[in-house]
Amino acid sequence: MSAARARGIAIAAAALVTLVVALGLAACASPPVAPAAPVAPAAPAAAPGQCARSASDPPQQATSPKAAAAAPPGQRLANLGACRLESGETLRDCVVGYRTYGTLDATRSNVIVWPTWFSGRSAAVGAFARDKLIDTGKYHLIVVDALADGVSTSPSNSPSQARLSYPKIGIRDMVESQHRLLVEHLGIRHVRAVAGVSMGGMLAFQWAVSHPDFMDAIVPIVGSPRLTSHDLLLWSAELHALEADTAYAQGNYPGAPILRAVLDIHQLALTTPAYRSRETSRERFPVWLAEAEADPGFDWNDWRRQLEAMLAHDVTAPLGGSMDEAAKRVRARALVVVAENDHAVNPGPALELAGKLGAATFVLKSPCAHLAPGCEEAPALRAAIDAFLSAR
């Protein structure tokens, strides 16, 4: 196992790169979907190595000229103004980031929405080119940065609600901000599918319950409609380790501290003991651990707010806690992908809801566990997803 691969699974953002590699999208994003009545600006020339903007691209919208200038090539930012949260609080200066891949067809019927995973960012999708999990030759993929990922409005970048003054958010809040992006800014009112991995799979389930007529299908991958007690124990331990670390300084830390206990707990859950023992020898363990505890490249307050969103996640909460009632809300076809050996997100609730929906399932059996969608079964998974999305 190479040092690069070891570092790649050290934390959630880097770990799920394995899944992003399976996406295999090109580095340059396609032009975004045009709003309902666009005014086409002249297309500026692209700098060497950057993606050219189409003449039909709408202007990027950002919280400030500084934010717009900081946006990397291919990154788009939609300013939603204020986002009212389920808690009753308001997220001010609410900006949602996104990138697009593939070509929108003439009937605007080939859109797939891909919310990012826990601590993931849309930029990671374009960084890899290999076999594709979603065929962007067929589909127009919109990868949306979830709130608190460091691109969309987050504790690390909010001009008015920085650090822990940034309110707690939920998975439903993430979905609502993404729905507003699609409807208000991109003029999209129906999509072929919503798909995602890990936390992105949680969002796919929530999308189907919150906006049942918005999509034809969902493909939640190693996600869950609600957490089990084991999941809650794991993620609570991670949160408590973060809170207890003096380097975290109750959210007022300088620089980018390394919270080793948080990273170690996270690493324990990503794969099985058999996988870790096979991939990392006792002799190599000190090197592997140092790589696993390297700079995560993710702000800890962002991490915390997304972690808290997952801890509160339950699609049945507004429905009296009933999975049957949640199933009645869903109108989309579903392909539910789970990892049999997943120690990070228990597959039980996803399979339970799949059974109530009469949904198709794909069970990954690899010891890669939560990372299984990017391991040896990836080609079979790609084929299953393509066949499912092609069926009507």
Residue 249's contacts (CB-CB under 8 Å, 6 or more residues apart) are none
Query: pLDDT tens, 43-94?
Result: 222 222 222 233 223 333 333 334 433 566 689 999 999 999 999 999 999 9
Burial 178-213 (b: 16+ CB within 10 A, else e): bbbbbeebbebeebbbbbbbbbbbbbbbbbbbbbee
CATH 3.40.50.300 is right for the domain spanning 3-32+53-60+98-230+306-390? no
Intra-chain end-to-end CA distance of the chain, in Å? 41
Summarize the confidence of residues 150-154 as an average pLDDT. Answer: 97
Burial 230-239 (b: 16+ CB within 10 A, else e): ebeebbebbb
Predicted confidence at residue 202, as pLDDT, reads 99
Predicted confidence at residue 50, as pLDDT, reads 28
C-beta atoms surrounding 277 within 10 Å: 12
DSSP line for 173-239: HHHHHHHHIIIIIS----EEEEEEETHHHHHHHHHHHHSTTSEEEEEEES--SB--HHHHHHHHHHH
Query: pLDDT tens, 327-386?
Result: 999 999 999 999 999 999 999 999 999 999 999 999 999 999 999 998 999 999 999 999
Tokens of 245: 């670390």
Predicted confidence at residue 70, as pLDDT, reads 54
The model's confidence at residue 296, banded by pLDDT at 50, 70 and 90, is: confident
| Residue-range domain boundaries for the chain | 3-32+53-60+98-230+306-390
Place of tokens 């995602």: 196
CA distances from 275 to 107, 223, 367 (A): 45, 21, 5
Query: pLDDT tens, 167-192?
Result: 999 999 999 999 999 999 999 999 99
**pLDDT higher than threshold 80 for residue 5:** no
Predicted confidence at residue 236, as pLDDT, reads 98
> Is the CB of residue 119 less than 8 Å from the CB of residue 19?
no
